[in-house]
Amino acid sequence: MTVRIDESKVFEIIEAKRPSVVVVNAPGGLLRQTKNLMEQVREKYGVTCILAGDSCFGICDTVDDEVENLHADLALHIGHNATIKTVGDYTYLIDAVDDVKFDEVVDAAIPTLTTYKRIGLATFSQHLHQLAPVKRKLEQSGFDVRVGKQNNLMMEGQVFGCDFSTSQPLQDEVDAFVFLGESEFHSVGLALATSKPTFMLDPYMNTVTDMRAAAEERRKRAVLAVYKALDARVFGVVTGLKEGQRMLGRSTWISKKLESNGRKVVQIALRDVTPERLAPHREIEAFVQTACPRISIDGFTFDRPVLSIPQADALVALMEGRDIGEFLQRPKWIELTVGLVPR
Ligand code: SF4
């Protein structure tokens, strides 16, 4: 695997802005390349680079605030490509792309895919440039291939772990989705949000994985957590402090709904919502967290229900005597506030 960070963009920004101190952050998988880049920037321009070392999972993890906290001049957020190129007052989004090719794994997938005529194609940031060649290759094999339209945040065919708004509108136009890349995280999310058969094509191992069983397991756990939370009398409502996930309005709405249904609510703000951080709050019987929905959907280690926004909506529906419906089948599980948070 060779993931390349768009270094020329970084050099362009440094030359244009002439900063003294730069804050940098990147997901764990890109830390090695990111540290190399920091070294280059230090050597080439004499700029001090500070790695923001807190968890960085998605485009929601920008570090505009840290620029002020560290008296820096700008921030570089690496590896979460998007249609926007800057966030907040100081942050530049820097693309990273993976050179790996999909020819072999697409050949391996064709026998599995032949029962599906119409295919929706999706991927995450590092493989976006592979959508066009894979689309051509599948079309040459007789498939009708659709790619979701670009929107105000995501490129054509792109999905985030919480936002499927490019692909989800295709759910009635396709028979199955093909997800390019080795990411159970994204492909399970796509399967849950669309309820379509979804196949993950791993270009490193050349394997094709049907994600339906993994998605169904998470769906059942998500439903079970909602019903468990229904019995709770005391709730913790957690607002995330990460820049792209600050959903205070949603937390307030959910708190009011819980209180009007006779529950006691303690509002909490956290940067990282983990079992360790929630453990001291022993009096709380269930949590709703309005930060990253995947903390709840994939969080198998919590000792009490920890509901995401879609699950909280389902809980409120139950409390108000309505059907919970397919609450994960929606284009977005959270309205990311990337670039929208007023300073
Ligand atoms: S909120 Fe969305 S973008 Fe942020 S880490 Fe979670 S899934 Fe990824």
pLDDT digits (tens, 9 = 90+) for 224-279: 999 999 999 999 999 999 999 999 999 999 999 999 999 999 999 999 999 999 99
Does ligand 1 lie within 6 Å of residue 308's CB atom?
Answer: no
Does ligand 1 lie within 6 Å of residue 77's CB atom?
Answer: no
Residues of the chain short of pLDDT 50, as ranges, are: 341-343
Contact between 175 and 196 (Cβ < 8 Å): yes
Contact between 23 and 50 (Cβ < 8 Å): yes
Residue positions counted in the chain: 343
CA of 287 to the centre of ligand 1 (A): 19
Does ligand 1 lie within 6 Å of residue 334's CB atom?
Answer: yes
Q: What is the DSSP letter of 158?
A: B
Contacts of 232 (CB under 8 A, 6+ apart): 263, 285, 286, 304, 305
pTM score, two decimals? Answer: 0.95
Give the amino acid at 176.
Answer: A
Per-residue pLDDT, 338: 75
Angle between helices 184-194 and 212-230 (to 10 degrees): 70
Which residue is it, tokens 């998007």?
82
Query: In testing the pocket of ligand 1, which one of 62, 93, 158, 160 has its CB within 8 Å of the most ligand atoms?
Result: 160
Nearest CA to ligand 1 atom 7: 161
Q: What is the DSSP letter of 126?
A: G
